[in-house]
Structure 1
Amino acid sequence: MSTTKESIGFIGVGYMGQGMASCILAKGFRLTVMGHRNRKPVEELKAAGAAEAATPKELAGKASIIFLCVTGSPQVEQVVNGPDGIAAGAQPGTVIVDCSTSDPVSTVALAERLAAIGLHLCDAPLGGTPAQAKLGQLSTMIGADSAVFERIRPVCEAWAQKIVHLGPVGDGHKMKLLNNFLSLGYGAIYAEALTLAQKVGITPQTFDSVITGGRMECGFYRTFMQYVLERDRDAHKFTLSNALKDVRYLESLANAAGVPNPVGGAVKNVYAAAVASGKGEDYVPMLSDFVAAQSKVSLG
């Protein structure tokens, strides 16, 4: 099948997905999206030329490559295998691209089940922010066989400026968990460092004046501090509940590999405490307020 003739489906037009889907439309691909609990992104995409399907099964009947951008493995399994799922409506040869941060063990098992009915699964988790998604400036780490990778690459190029083909199915999700371990680990460290700094008389502004321009500055630091310094809630729209899910997946991966994960466990517990206190829908930079409050200081 010629890649120029591919019809694209997209399930999960949330913070990241809407920007990705709009980039796919802008590159001239035919796009069908599935109804989302938030109608605003769906209606905006329809106004730009997308069609809408009511169920994954209906969408699968209209698409040769289907992108999923949902919460994690349970949601992927439901979208694919449910009674009105993709598997019930897809033609042989259809490619399902899981852009979620999922459990690699689940990904590999699902890929094997789909291969038995002539469907292809690959994992293409994301790096970047919703703002970068809108600009087509995300990165992606892809697990897929070579032929499937070549089919999906022209579509991925619509929304990603950095594409790395890591190897077989599952490798993308493994690398994504490692990547998120680094970023979420930094988030926990930033929160604790800022709290200690404030407690001993060094304000977040002074702290930032030292870090900015030095070796410890990075893109994640900048969006984290955009919230801390400017109270911009939308600086990094990734919830604490999603963060906790990811570090729990990392723990599962480490357990399966027989690798001690003491730092990962400590990071997980910071996010678990925040979520348990009712902060699950707060965004990752807001972890700083939760940690500070535990020591009775304010960063605002």
Structure 2
Amino acid sequence: MTDKPIIGFIGLGYMGHGMAKNLVEKGYTVFVKGNRNRTPVDSLVAKGATEVATAREMAERCDVIHTCLSNSPQVEAVFRGADGILAGARAGLVVIETSTADPVSTEALAAELAEKEGHMVDAPLGRTPKEAEAGTLDCMVGADEDVFERVLPVIQCWAGNINRVGGVGAGHKMKLLMNTISMGYAALYAEVTVLGAKSGISPQTVQKVIGSSRLGNGFFDTFMRCVVDGERDVHKFSIANASKDLRYASNMAAAADVMTLCLSAARQYFVHAEATGHAQDYVPWLADHVGALNGIDMVKEAEKGR
């Protein structure tokens, strides 16, 4: 690999656009492949990126490819399709898989890529599209140590807090642990805010008291800015993706033969919201859903205190 490897990027959504933009702005040659939404593709091409039609073409031309997709079936399709990454992979290719994915799938794809003398790096993301645009994401990395050292300068273009947590697959496992905590927070915050509203404690009071105590944290802050302050788009992460992540975490627990009562309880809120037509709502909107289950309109409750 040269000092400036040629970079590919597949998946230009809320997170991927900012990550690819930072790579272009740091002077890398970047090839991109988008989906139906032309806006992020056109934006990156205007900045100097080059669009390709297939993942196969990207693999034939790039040294490092990023994938930033919604789930493991999408990642598998990009790898295994007739015009996928594996069809064009050559010795030395590194794929940095930044989706929140099923570790079993990740390890299988890594083995298939290794047969082409390529290398998998699983590097799922923490934080939000705001940090993606700023190049300050959190990143937990699963990779062989020598491969990690080779791609670290690339990852540093879009991440500020980078931790290698083990070999291939460990990054996705760590991400599922992280999202179990965050989605557990979301379920708990929704539940207690609704309980408070029905018991005479306003959402504003919950926000103030908890936010100023040792129980406050960044996730609580953004969650309550949505629920209480009406910043509906402050956390652009869908209930469908949250439900998927908790499903993968449940699979991971089953494989490890671990009892996970809190994980299972939190997952039910997301599964129910998804099943009742709210899959594309953002995670903090879970408070609306829990409120409706308990006969209360949380948007109106929050408006009372403004």
What per-residue deviation string (whole Å, max 9, x for no partner) do you get for residues 212-247 of structure 1? 221111111111111112222210000000000000
**Residue of structure 2 in register with 1:127 after alignment:** 126
**SS of corresponding position for 2:14:** coil
Q: Distance in 1 between matches of 2:232 and 2:11?
A: 22
**Residue of structure 1 in register with 2:33 after alignment:** 34
**Residue of structure 1 in register with 2:171 after alignment:** 172
**Residue of structure 1 in register with 2:253 after alignment:** 254
Does the CA contact (< 8 Å) of 2:103 and 2:172 recur in 1? yes
Q: Which structure 1 residue ranges, 5 or more long, are not aligned?
A: none
| Aligned 1:34-183 pairs, distance under 5 A | 34-183=33-182
Which amino acid letter does the alignment assign opposite residue 56 of structure 1?
A
Aligned length: 299
| TM-score (normalised: structure 1) | 0.98
Q: Which structure 2 residue ranges, 5 or more long, are not aligned?
A: 300-306
Q: Distance in 1 between matches of 2:229 and 2:212?
A: 18
Give the ranges of 4+ consecutive aligned residues of structure 1 lying more than 2 Å apart after TM superposition. Answer: none
Residue range with higher mean Cα deviation, 53-62 or 142-151: 53-62
**Residue of structure 1 in register with 2:293 after alignment:** 294
What per-residue deviation string (whole Å, max 9, x for no partner) do you get for residues 104-138 of structure 1? 11111211121112111110000010011100110
Q: Distance in 2 between matches of 1:117 and 1:217?
A: 48
Which amino acid letter does the alignment assign opposite residue 212 of structure 1?
G
**Residue of structure 1 in register with 2:232 after alignment:** 233
**Residue of structure 2 in register with 1:208 after alignment:** 207
Q: Give the Å deviation of 1:90.
A: 2.2
**SS of corresponding position for 1:61:** helix
Q: Give the Å deviation of 1:267.
A: 0.9
**Residue of structure 1 in register with 2:13 after alignment:** 14
**SS of corresponding position for 1:166:** strand
| TM-score (normalised: structure 2) | 0.96
Q: Give the Å deviation of 1:152.
A: 1.2
Q: Give the Å deviation of 1:32.
A: 0.6
| Aligned 1:243-282 pairs, distance under 5 A | 243-282=242-281
**Residue of structure 1 in register with 2:303 after alignment:** none
Residue range with higher mean Cα deviation, 125-134 or 227-236: 227-236
Which amino acid letter does the alignment assign opposite residue 294 of structure 2?
S
Residue range with higher mean Cα deviation, 149-158 or 177-186: 149-158
**Residue of structure 1 in register with 2:302 after alignment:** none
Q: Give the Å deviation of 1:73.
A: 1.1
Residue range with higher mean Cα deviation, 249-258 or 222-231: 222-231
**SS of corresponding position for 1:37:** coil
Question: Percent identity between the aligned chains?
Answer: 49
What per-residue deviation string (whole Å, max 9, x for no partner) do you get for residues 166-186 of structure 1? 110000000000000000000
| Alignment RMSD (CA, Å) | 0.9
